[in-house]
Amino acid sequence: MTSMKKHVLSVFILLACVAGFTLSASAEDKLKVGFVYISPVGDAGWTYQHDLGRLELEKNLGDKIVTKYIESVPEGPEAERVIRDLAKSGHDLIFTTSFGYMNPTLKVAKMFPKKYFEHSTGYKTTKNVGTYMCRFYEGRYLTGIVAGKMTKSNTLGYVAAFPIPEVIRGINAFTLGAKSVNPDIQVKVIWVNSWFDPGKEREASEALITQGADVITHHTDSTAPTLTAEEKGVYSIAYHSDMSKYGPKAHLTAATHVYGDFYTKTTQAVLDNTWKSDAVWSGIKEGSIELAPMNPVVPADVVALVEKTTKAIADGSFHPFQGPVKDQSGKVVVEAGKSLTDKDLLGMSYYVEGVLGKIPK
């Protein structure tokens, strides 16, 4: 056999295998749900929370669906290929879980108009692309209350990734929460210009602690701030996940995302043929934001206050950005009796009173 013939034959064998695989898969008759992750699942952080949601979905609807995830998918052309492969291999519902997947998701969705796509943290929806994200600022406000009550130096430290509205919203909500119980606090912010760099996150935390911060929180992905707080004997408030095992003494609580409910409901809707494109922004009311268990050092009255505020946010009687809210210059940005609209929240580009420094432009 010539080598040319050999090649042709092997291509045929390959094609036959692929065809056989596809047939056997569709024969299972279960809905295939795909997930695209930006980083490895790991043990804490953004992707870990999405994967917890996926596992809960499997637990709830395991007899009707199969799930598959692909991790460490970089934002960009590679993402488009991965999403397209998932759609091609029979996944009818695909969750893409990072902001930068927005355009690839939209592009692939156009090619597969009968499949459903859900993109996390994006702002563009089409007929078969929905978006979803969490009102994590509600959790930030609650952890701010804890920080404001626990600080002795009245200086709180915030390690932040990039100066975009999402992160600024978190800083402001945290500051408002802390100020609501302790008007004397100030929040120091250090930008590390990275979502994930344990070394820089540690260095920034250390700088904040040296400058007098005794409660550290972060809007970055690693456990380094909590580790550093534990080492230096100050408190930390984690983000994304419960990180208490990395700082049993330091870790006061954490604002965590919960996706299980949303994933289950959305998948059920696809199963029932009732799915509709929507921009879901859910928070404490829907159970999408939860606080991690409180450290025993947090006094009972603080825990009670946090619980009371949680209920108030859930029943709509309280909004973290409820007026009067002043910006750094003392100008009233939200008048008394009003609260910020979602549109204003999404485009937030100023610091509230109590945050030190300026937003990098």
Residue numbers of the site for another protein (CB under 8 A)? 39-40, 42-44, 72, 157, 163, 188-193, 196-204, 206-208, 210-211, 222-224, 227, 231, 245-246, 356-358, 360-361
51 or 118: whose CB is closer to another protein?
51
40 or 62: whose CB is closer to another protein?
40
Sheet of strand 289-291, all strands in order from the earlier edge strand to the far edge: 186-191, 155-160, 215-219, 235-240, 251-257, 289-291
324 or 360: whose CB is closer to another protein?
360
44 or 181: whose CB is closer to another protein?
44
Sheet of strand 93-96, all strands in order from the earlier edge strand to the far edge: 65-70, 31-36, 93-96, 116-120, 129-134, 279-282
Token digits for 312? 């108030």
Q: Does residue 141 contact residue 286 with C-beta atoms inside 8 Å?
A: no
- Residue 65 CA, distance from chain mean position: 24
* Smallest separation (angstroms) from another protein to the CB of 186: 9
* Smallest separation (angstroms) from another protein to the CB of 32: 25
205 or 264: whose CB is closer to another protein?
205
Give the integer Cα–Cα distance in Å for 205 and 193.
14
Could you give the residue ranges of the DSSP H alpha helices within 151-299?
165-181, 198-210, 224-232, 260-271
* Smallest separation (angstroms) from another protein to the CB of 173: 20
* Smallest separation (angstroms) from another protein to the CB of 192: 8
Residue 290 is inside which H or E element, if any?
strand 289-291
Rounding to the nearest 10 degrees, give the CA dihedral for residues 102, 106, 108, 114.
Answer: 130
* Smallest separation (angstroms) from another protein to the CB of 55: 15
* Beta-sheet pairing, 93-96 with 129-134: unpaired
What is the end-to-end Cα distance of the chain in Å, rounded?
66
* Smallest separation (angstroms) from another protein to the CB of 168: 13
340 or 359: whose CB is closer to another protein?
359
b/e per residue 195-212 (b: at least 16 CB within 10 A):
bbbbebbbbbbbebbeee
Q: Please tell me whether residue 120 adopts helix, strand or coil conformation.
A: strand
Give the integer Cα–Cα distance in Å for 187 and 155.
6
49 or 267: whose CB is closer to another protein?
49
* Smallest separation (angstroms) from another protein to the CB of 220: 12
100 or 163: whose CB is closer to another protein?
163
